[in-house]
Structure 1
Amino acid sequence: MLYAGFGLACAMSGTRLLHHGGESGALVPGWAVASVGGLAALVSGAVVRYGPRPALRVLLWLVCALAGITAFSLLMDVITLMFGQGVDSGASAANKALAAVGAVLLAATARSGRLFAGTAVRAPSTAPRLVRLAAWAGTVAFVPYAAMKMVWALGGTFAGITGEEMLAVSERNGASGIFLTLESWGLDPTVLLAVLGVFLLWGLVRPWGQVFPRWTLFLRGRRVPRWLPLAPALLGAATLAPYGVVGVGYLALVTSGAATMRRGDFHSLGDALLVGWVGMTAFAVYGIALTIAARSYWLRTRPACR
């Protein structure tokens, strides 16, 4: 009901939640949010009244998917806030956050009432070989991206644009002081995030992602709460996998001449395509690898029979 009320308030006040431009479509997202929230409330109420019947589980997963779609790009807003920048729209960011929370609660409700295999804690384990190969693919995919970003951060030239020009673009686009300071030190913030992402990826496939290792000092030997790696993994996978896959598809159309793309701040379309391929390939491969690793971690850390 909270989400439905939020959407209704935005619709009534004319607050735009999705930036598509134009005033005529300003109310549509608000009414859509109110509809999703109302449907979620009705289905959840039916579950409370009649129990988690199969048909209601299907509806719960359907509404969960709608909420997940609404929460798309929440990760981008989180990253923006981490580096001291303001989001494009506070209402839009709040909408995504509420939708993400709703998706988690709906998924938990849909899974409630099921019989689990047991309650015993499983021993730490390494992911299967294919999952580890996916993790390697996700890691390697970020190497060209990190190299490209570091070339610019260190003042070099890539795709016809210098590091100084790229820094000017960041300033013009409203980059925060933290972001610009790191760039001036030769550290690209997105590369630091990529390193953290790779760390998360390997934590999902290695035993130290289930029990804190020795180098964590006071935490060593303790079980890692399942939600600690799974929460950022699911958020990252839900954002980067579709973003990267759709981006790769679009770049393929542009490369083949079936679609057009503006060159933006680059000197030629070829330069823009080169940078686009490097970035979107990294996001797509890493996002898919993160999805595979998160699923493996979920299955390997489920309670076992005693």
Structure 2
Amino acid sequence: MRKNGWAVTGWGLGFAGLGLGCALSGTELFGADWAGWAVAGTGAVAAAAGAAVVRRRPVRPLLWLLCGAAAVGAWGLLMDLVTLLFGQRVDSVPDAVERVLAAVGAVLLARTALGLQPAARGGTGGTGGPGGTGGPGGRTERPAPAPTAAPPLVQLAACAGSLAFVPYVLMKLVWAVGGSFAGISGDQMYASYVHNGSSGLWLALERWGLDGTMLLALLGVFLLWGLVRPWGQVFPRWTAPLRGRRVPRWLPLTPALLGAATLAPYGVAGIGYLTLCTAGVTRIRLGEFASEQSALEIAWVGMCGFAGYGVALVVAAWSYWRRTGARTAGAR
């Protein structure tokens, strides 16, 4: 665990450096003057926590708290990645850098906190006695768990998350083939993509009747089912060169955790905002839409899809994490 402790310390110093640099130079993070100081403070505490891990101090609750703060700081990273994927520029480079560092920190802090969990009772502390074969570093090796499907309720959540995206996919498909939805035509949407500086790849897909976000939604549904079915743990027959090999845990969990941390809070908060707009408590921003009614109809389709899918992704990712489990136990 000393290596993880040093890694957390290094990350904390780097994160604090980013925040301090932004604060002293007057560069806003997320449109707020104080955000740079908040990032600097979080990084400084993380560096101290990493040093405590090196000295074997009991700081596991603090690591989880910092992990939560880093996860909040990484919010929106998925949107930045989608933007860059289609050749567009992010709105703010400092914000994008902070999100990347925060995501790395969240994973590192979680891994370190998990490594500090108490040894399993009844084990031998990795001494090679009953309960396991002594492994390197005083750990007890366990065989990799057999591929299993998620429990029925988790698969039901995956069904609900998949269905939540159907209206969104259909809406995008209608626009991509030149139809109209909520008073907005496909030509109007295409003109807005051109106006917003969409890449040539994005515009080409639109002209071919394929919307980029629609394709990403379908890919997201594929990921969701990979998390709840056995073929998400062992490559199936149709992946000819890889068939029969175990899927590395990080391969589905990295995009799953990234998507869950972005889409679930975005969708749930968006539904709350739209509820207030629909009730007349506040007014929705029109943006490029001609009327509030059009903006509300389109926003409801999007937010319900993001919320339903995002929550299902949280459930599926947690189930996958538990079912694929750590392959070692014992004293660390």
TM-score by length of 1: 0.93
1:2-45 CA distances to partner (integer Å, 9 max, x unpaired)? 11112112222222221x3xxxx44x222211111111111111
- SS in structure 1 opposite 2:285? coil
Residue equivalent to 2:304: 281
Aligned: 1:11 with 2:20: no
Structure 2 Cα separation of the partners of residues 252 and 302 of structure 1: 39
Structure 2 Cα separation of the partners of residues 264 and 106 of structure 1: 39
Runs (4+) of structure 1 moved beyond 6 Å?
Answer: none
Aligned match of 1:98 in 82, 96, 101?
A: 101
Residue equivalent to 1:78: 81
Structure 2 Cα separation of the partners of residues 120 and 173 of structure 1: 52
Higher helix share: 1
Residue equivalent to 2:256: 233
> Is contact 1:160–1:266 with CA below 8 Å preserved after alignment?
no
- SS in structure 1 opposite 2:306? helix
- SS in structure 1 opposite 2:55? helix
Structure 2 Cα separation of the partners of residues 101 and 14 of structure 1: 25
1:72-105 CA distances to partner (integer Å, 9 max, x unpaired)? 0001001111111111122211111001101111
- SS in structure 1 opposite 2:168? helix
Residue equivalent to 2:36: 30
Structure 2, gaps ≥5 residues long = 1-12, 124-140
Return the offset for 1:305. 8.9
Return the offset for 1:110. 1.1
Aligned match of 1:217 in 230, 236, 240?
A: 240
Aligned: 1:201 with 2:224: yes
> Is contact 2:60–2:116 with CA below 8 Å preserved after alignment?
no
Structure 2 Cα separation of the partners of residues 209 and 305 of structure 1: 21
Residue equivalent to 2:45: 39
Structure 2 Cα separation of the partners of residues 14 and 263 of structure 1: 31
- SS in structure 1 opposite 2:178? coil
Aligned match of 1:253 in 252, 257, 276?
A: 276
Return the offset for 1:250. 0.7
Return the offset for 1:107. 1.0
Return the offset for 1:261. 1.1
Counting only pairs closer than 5 Å after superposition, residues 84-233 of structure 1 correspond to structure 2 as 84-114=87-117, 115=119, 119-233=142-256
Whichever residue aligns with residue 32 of structure 1, its letter is A
Return the offset for 1:303. 4.4
Structure 1 Cα separation of the partners of residues 289 and 91 of structure 2: 23
1:194-247 CA distances to partner (integer Å, 9 max, x unpaired)? 010000000000110000011111100000001100010000000000000000
Structure 1, gaps ≥5 residues long = none
Structure 1 Cα separation of the partners of residues 108 and 44 of structure 2: 15
CA RMSD of aligned residues (A): 1.6
> Is contact 1:122–1:303 with CA below 8 Å preserved after alignment?
no
Residue equivalent to 1:65: 68
> Is contact 1:251–1:273 with CA below 8 Å preserved after alignment?
yes
Task: Compare CA radii of gyration and give the structure with the larger one.
Answer: 2
- SS in structure 1 opposite 2:288? coil
Return the offset for 1:175. 1.3
Whichever residue aligns with residue 252 of structure 1, its letter is T
1:246-304 CA distances to partner (integer Å, 9 max, x unpaired)? 00111111111122112222222111111011000000000000000001111111147
Whichever residue aligns with residue 86 of structure 2, its letter is F
> Is contact 1:120–1:303 with CA below 8 Å preserved after alignment?
no
1:34-70 CA distances to partner (integer Å, 9 max, x unpaired)? 111111111111222233x1xx111111111111111
Structure 1 Cα separation of the partners of residues 81 and 90 of structure 2: 9
> Is contact 1:254–1:261 with CA below 8 Å preserved after alignment?
yes
1:121-154 CA distances to partner (integer Å, 9 max, x unpaired)? 1111111110111001111111100000011111
Greater CA drift, 214-223 or 295-304: 295-304
Structure 1 Cα separation of the partners of residues 286 and 14 of structure 2: 42
TM-score by length of 2: 0.86
